Amino acid sequence: MLPQEIIRTKRDGGVLSEAQIQQFVRGLVDHSWSEGQVAALGMAVFLRGMGRAEIVALTRAMMHSGRVLQWPDMPGPVLDKHSSGGVGDKVSLMLAPMVAACGGYVPMIAGRGLGHTGGTVDKLEAIAGYQTAPEASRFDALVRQLGCAIIGQTADLAPADKRFYATRDVAACVESVPLITASILSKKLAAGLQGLAMDVKVGNGAFASTPEFARELAHSIVDVAAGAGLPTRALITDMNQVLGDTVGNALELQEALDYLSGKRREARLHEVTMALAAEMLLLGGLAADKAQAHARLQQALDSGAAAEKFAQMVSALGGPADLFDRPEAYLPAAPVVRAIAAPRSGFVSAVRTRDIGVLIVQMGGGRRLPTDQLDLAVGLTQVLPLGSAVRQGEPLALLHARTPAQADEAQASFLAAYELGDAPPAAAPVVLEIL
């Protein structure tokens, strides 16, 4: 089959056969398809869509384009969680050790920041010595031994997806529900999972800006995962404000440490973390119902078991054994810390959350180019949530910057993203729907 004939089939609205899809994926890996041909098929799918059988076939083919992890004789269920991306989303850092403390096994292969959204791997690299790319055998052993390990994406898992995504990114066809679905699930299936909790963010800080798009994506992921043999639950969660009260790599890592140790747990962050972790326990048969799942997870937090799992993981992957005791010795800190004063009295009535994420990128906490080195120390803490009452001159957030000039610029951007009104906005739930 010629690549151009496969492209023509989809361009004209036809249904691709499994054989055609497999040839395309082989072409991604062995480069028998040119960049132009890959981009052309991506755009044809973007415009024409795919049926469920096509998406399942594409997902499976990309899953089998590289190594597929196996977990024989694992004493408990192999589970994971994935987020579509948000601002201040550090849920994975707490969720993996919480589920591990409840008897699950979490081989979490996480990503780096994408666009205005932060990445779990970047946050972990704020810990001095932490290795995000261990040998495969070491990763396997740690998951079995500790119950969880969080590392970066590896070149041998779903390599076809890596090339396809890079081409889609520059060809303006990323926002395709079939292709997003296949991209996410091919990597999760390659990780050998038995259950997946999917967090689909929706709002002005998410890639899915409308409820309709978020619901379409959530249904697609759940349905295709079922067709590919991976039980999955999807939660649609709010991203119209920062999740938690920190943004920035080291600062979010510190918030995760405070959460696990019980020093502070911001309410919205706690609700999302518990909801996703509870679905994982239910998928793995580790709880009979949501009430029992929540009770087990809360016990893992209150007893210190989840914090201990995280500490063991950090130490085993090259980080310090006393991170919880002396985080300031190992996490980078910005030299300039400044309160951003409210320009008037009122209530926080709206936040342009994407602009907050872009602000962090502009400060160096995110990437403009794939090769950029991050400033892991910069960001925001004590960010006020929607509905907060504030008097003129009181802080809306604390800004952590590299220089006074950078702080001046970032402060102006932050104030432009925050809207103060005379009345608080209507309260909105953080977990909007579960599929």
Catalytic residues: 80-83, 120, 168, 183, 187-188
CB 288 within 8 A of CB 278: no
Q: How far is 75 from 250, CA to CA, in rounded Å?
A: 34
Q: How far is 132 from 80, CA to CA, in rounded Å?
A: 17
> Strand, coil or helix: what is 57?
helix
Considering only CA atoms, which of 84, 357, 92 is closest in space to residue 202?
Answer: 84
Instruction: Tell me the H-state helices in 205-247.
Output: 211-227
Q: How far is 391 from 347, CA to CA, in rounded Å?
A: 9
Enter the tokens of residue 434.
């579960």
354-207-373-188 Cα dihedral, nearest 10 degrees = 150
Q: Report how far Cα 240 is from the mean position of its chain's Cα atoms.
A: 16
CB 157 within 8 A of CB 25: no
CB 158 within 8 A of CB 190: yes
Q: How far is 256 from 249, CA to CA, in rounded Å?
A: 11
Considering only CA atoms, which of 259, 220, 221, 247 is closest in space to residue 82?
Answer: 221
Enter the tokens of residue 310.
């995280």
Angle between helices 91-101 and 267-283 (to 10 degrees): 40
Q: Containing H/E element for 180? A: helix 177-190
Q: How many residues does the chain have?
A: 435
